[in-house]
Amino acid sequence: MQLSIQVLVFILSFAMALIAGPILIPALTKLKFGQTVRDDGPATHLKKTGTPNIGGLIFLIPILLLSIYFGRIYPEIIPMAIATIGFGLIGFIDDFIKVKKRRKDGLYPKQKTIGLLLVAAVFAIYTAYFTDLGVDITIPFLGTITEKWFYILFVIFVLYSTTNAVNITDGLDGLAAGTTLIVMVFFSLVAMTNTEWEYSMVFSSFVAGGCLGFLTFNIHPAKIFMGDTGSLALGGAVGTLAIMMKMPFIILLVGAVYVAEILSVAIQVISFKTRGKRVFKMAPLHHHFELSGWKETKVVYSFWIVTLVLCGIGIAIYTG
């Protein structure tokens, strides 16, 4: 029986991640690349201090290698891979500073923002001027806008927002990896409905495979954390797929967990600065549920189920 290409690349990426894990985890442990846990977070997280970080390399290595190979067949994969790896590089620098200086913050916020915006701008400009993707953006209730300057600004906004949202979601064992795995499967299934999206089907499939491989080491209790290296890269993968497939607003549906997480932080900050009161027991949202008495695994599995249901609705919308 001949395997379809999306199943093949999924298996390849999954297997490569499974191989990378046992190599990287001892190496990162030996180098003392351990997690520094925020002291104002849930007390149950303090025991995670010292768990190897920068684990996003486990799935970034397969993504890089498979992008190099399949990029020759599907050139559209190249800008998505460059953006994903580029965001991952910003995250790696951030993580490296954290572990070397033993502090919860790595790059200064301004430095991190500039780095993310630069990577997003490179992707936006490249796709606007050097691909046949087109620069038309359809805004609900406003119609279609075809100006290049608007496309570039819009893409930068989408990528910056998505990378930060996935980054904030990464706070519990398996949460970001599992949620993104489901979202990647959604993109792969939708891409199967259009032959012009075969490159997206391949890219999303090997990102999904990498996520599943990483999840075997990151499920509670996690043996390794993805760090910003992984979360920013996954945010980039989600954002670039949505842009390349001309469905940026679908993130609001299938990525509702990401949206809720980043909104909870924004609401908490605005409320505290304007009223001196907190809306949530703690932000991001997953910590609010923890402090409300939910076990970490219950929060994670609940968020996975929500994502699975919403992705099912998304599939029904695009294939119905």
What's the average model confidence in pLDDT over 191-215? 96
What's the average model confidence in pLDDT over 94-108? 83
Pairing assessment for the beta strands 137-139 and 143-145 based on DSSP bridges? antiparallel
- Listing DSSP states for 172-219 in one string gives STTHHHHHHHHHHHHHHHHHTT-GGGHHHHHHHHHHHHHHHHHHHHHS
Q: What is the SS3 assignment for 6?
A: helix
Residue 139 DSSP symbol: E
What's the average model confidence in pLDDT over 151-167? 98
Q: With a cut of 50, say whether residue 177 has pLDDT above it.
A: yes
**Nearest-angstrom CA–CA distance, 114 and 127:** 20
Q: Is the peptide bond before 22 cis (omega within 30 degrees of 0)?
A: no
Q: What integer best gives the mean pLDDT of the chain? A: 93
Residue 41: pLDDT band with limits 50, 70, 90? low
What's the average model confidence in pLDDT over 108-118? 96
28, 32, 38, 85, 230 from 47: Cα distances, Å: 18, 16, 11, 30, 22
Residues in the chain: 320
Q: With a cut of 50, say whether residue 57 has pLDDT above it.
A: yes
94 φ/ψ angles, rounded to the nearest 5 degrees: -60, -45
Residues 67, 77: contact at Cβ < 8 Å?
A: yes
Which tens digits make up the pLDDT trace of 71-81?
A: 999 999 999 99
Q: With a cut of 90, say whether residue 185 has pLDDT above it.
A: yes
| Torsion sign across C-alpha atoms 210, 87, 132, 311 | positive
Global confidence as pTM: 0.94
What's the average model confidence in pLDDT over 22-26? 95
Q: With a cut of 80, say whether residue 43 has pLDDT above it.
A: no
